[in-house]
Amino acid sequence: MQRTGGEIIAECLIEQGVDTVFGYPGGAILNIYDALYKYQDQINHYLTAHEQGAAHAADGYARATGKVGVCLATSGPGATNLVTGIATAYMDSVPMVAITANVPLALLGRDSFQEVDIVGITMPITKHNYIVKDINELASTLRKAFYIAQEGRPGPVLVDVPKDITAQVAEYIYEAPRPIETVSAPIPEEDLLSAIQMIKTAKRPLIYMGGGVVRSGAAEAFKDFVDKVQAPVASTMMGLGGFPSTHELFTGLLGMHGTKASNMAATECDLIIAVGARFSDRAIGKVEGFAPGAKILQIDIDPAEVNKNIRTHYSIIGTITEVLKDLNPRLEKQERKEWTEKIKAWQRDYPLTYEKNTTLKPQFVIEKVKELAAEDAVITTEVGQNQIWTALFYKFTQPRSFITSGGLGTMGFGLGACIGAQIGLPERQLFNIAGDGCFYMNCNELATAVHYNLPIRVIVLNNHVLGMVRQWQGMFYGKRFSNTTLDRKTDIVKLAEAYGATGFNITKNEEVEDVLKKAMAIKGPVVINCEIDRDELVLPMVPPGADIKDLIME
């Protein structure tokens, strides 16, 4: 069947099960958009306000649904506007396919109008990328892109297509999507037996849970594993939701903003079982002081993560689901009452707390959202204090319920991600928790939320400063607040209304519940401006360069 390059792209999207894409048109990509017009009954295109918003929406859609997120952009600035979103997905192992158009083949390399080498630019931040110079290779390239994005450790793949390729005609023949191989090889029996021996002989093990538990769909198997091992569970930010935060063995975040119980458990344990976690600097603090008396058992899909940041004593390579499927039946339930009692004592003596019954508190707002929202509500965040307060004070009980930029720490991520997640999960409640600095970066995407009448609730914890950066300046830079005081004159409620959303203002704790209930009853997008104190800090916190046991608690 003869198809243009644009039509082949549309056919391949349908072939791969894609019915939702996010993007922004331009001159070089017109042939693809012309094809999308013809296929609009099969592919829903969501027009964002900016290409970065399209990338974040595709990312949020992928994280919420487990499917591949797809975003489109034209050449030059359209393609470069995707870069931050692609890097965000890459750092957090999110399956995404970014399709960009470029200038015609004859104009490549001539500094033509709106020409950039987007393949060269994105090489360090993609699992793989392609430029298609032969229309006969277009369909096979797209199929490889979708496979690579999902296979092994997920991540973004970019496909760049010159404009004349999208206009040329070639034969298109349907192919069923290639099944994703979950494991490359059976896990050797000796690896499993060695891991079991390490677990059985440990007196004070700690399970260190990362985003791999969520990404691999291993939450149930992981819960069974914890029940067998009977060890405390500390989480990275990306792991939140992979194990219920309400479980008695859950100790909370580990690392720079970890709980005292998690950080002390890591310091005093004799075995760390890292499950789908990559030992990032935010989690382990000073390498020399991390788990000084512990052996390290690492379970991960990516062999490149083993011995990268921390020297391991043993590792098992494979998807978390497959490894635990093999490991759990061989494990006997352990008994570690003395160790778990010590953990519970730390939790009692050093609880997460904040001063109540005073000014409007961000922690109180977040706890109220949890209290009033549906159990399966999905929370996205921006980056900074808002992100950490949410990670600490919102009790996540389900996988894929917490969507945030963990690795890259992208301010402006949350609103686009919330839009994508709401489109992917239309029956679920979606909240985006933001700081005012992050909100201003991509508030233009309110236009997208209003246009598609998406019932998202944006909660702006407004302290009129760049809160986390200001906190560092206050604690470590002699209170020299250089360019972190915003004090914008923008009326956020009026801004929301100008976009067509509903706006609310909260100035005291007594208003929170009533406003949240009103916001949840509204069918379209809502923005809630919460006026909080600029000196409210995110605590606990480990000072830079310190051991994670040396927490600042107040």
CATH of the domain at 55: 3.40.50.970
330 in Cβ contact with 201 (< 8 Å): no
530 in Cβ contact with 511 (< 8 Å): no
Q: Are residues 155 and 22 in the same domain?
A: yes
pLDDT of 540 reads 95
443 in Cβ contact with 391 (< 8 Å): no
Q: Are residues 267 and 342 in the same domain?
A: yes
Residue 418 lies in a domain: yes
Residue 183 banded pLDDT, cuts 50, 70, 90: low
Q: Are residues 202 and 225 in the same domain?
A: yes
Pairing relation of β-strands 430-435 and 96-102? unpaired
Pairing relation of β-strands 2-4 and 169-171? antiparallel
Q: What is the pLDDT of residues 84-118, one digit of tens each?
A: 999 999 999 999 999 999 999 999 999 999 999 99
Joined tokens for residue 21? 């894409």
39 in Cβ contact with 45 (< 8 Å): no
What sign does the dihedral 415-419-421-425 (CA atoms) show?
Answer: positive
Q: Are residues 240 and 298 in the same domain?
A: yes
Joined tokens for residue 153? 């450790």
Q: Are residues 27 and 158 in the same domain?
A: yes
Q: Are residues 80 and 7 in the same domain?
A: yes
Instruction: Reply yes or no on whether 332 is catalytic.
Output: no
Joined tokens for residue 467? 């809160």
Other CB atoms within 10 A of residue 527 CB: 28
Q: Are residues 105 and 205 in the same domain?
A: no
Instruction: Reply yes or no on whether 133 is catalytic.
Output: no
**Catalytic annotation, pick one of 51, 268, 305, 322:** 51
Residue 546 lies in a domain: no
Residue 230 lies in a domain: yes
Joined tokens for residue 241? 């939701």
Q: Are residues 345 and 212 in the same domain?
A: yes
**Cis-peptide into 154, omega within 30 deg:** no
How far apart, in whole angstroms, are the C-alpha atoms of residue 348 and residue 353? 11
401 in Cβ contact with 361 (< 8 Å): no
pLDDT of 184 reads 57
Q: Which of 255, 254, 234, 256 is nearest to 245 (CA)?
A: 234
**Catalytic annotation, pick one of 91, 237, 238, 468:** 468
| % residues pLDDT > 90 (the chain) | 94
pLDDT at 256 over 60: yes
Kind and range of the H or E element at 69? strand 69-73
Joined tokens for residue 36? 């999308």
Residue 358 banded pLDDT, cuts 50, 70, 90: confident
How far apart, in whole angstroms, are the C-alpha atoms of residue 343 and residue 247? 13
Q: What is the pLDDT of residues 461-479, one digit of tens each?
A: 999 999 999 999 999 999 9
Instruction: Reply yes or no on whether 468 is catalytic.
Output: yes
Q: Provide the β-strand partners of residue 552.
A: 541
**Catalytic annotation, pick one of 163, 223, 260, 361:** 163
Residue 355 lies in a domain: no
Q: Is 16 helix (H, G, I), strand (E, B) or coil?
A: coil
234 in Cβ contact with 294 (< 8 Å): no
Q: Which of 210, 223, 251, 207 is nearest to 349 (CA)?
A: 251
**Catalytic annotation, pick one of 38, 42, 113, 197:** 113
Q: Provide the β-strand partners of residue 431.
A: 379, 457
Other CB atoms within 10 A of residue 172 CB: 20
Instruction: Reply yes or no on whether 42 is catalytic.
Output: no
Instruction: Reply yes or no on whether 243 is catalytic.
Output: no
Q: What is the pLDDT of residues 291-308, one digit of tens each?
A: 999 999 999 999 999 999
Residue 492 lies in a domain: yes
Residue 180 lies in a domain: no
Q: Are residues 200 and 342 in the same domain?
A: yes
Residue 473 lies in a domain: yes
Residue 262 lies in a domain: yes
| CATH code assigned at 232 | 3.40.50.1220
**Catalytic annotation, pick one of 114, 230, 334, 398:** 114
Q: Are residues 366 and 509 in the same domain?
A: yes
Q: Are residues 204 and 108 in the same domain?
A: no
Q: Which domain holds residue 419?
A: 362-531
Average pLDDT, the chain: 96
Q: Are residues 429 and 521 in the same domain?
A: yes
pLDDT at 41 over 70: yes
The total number of structural domains in the chain stands at: 3
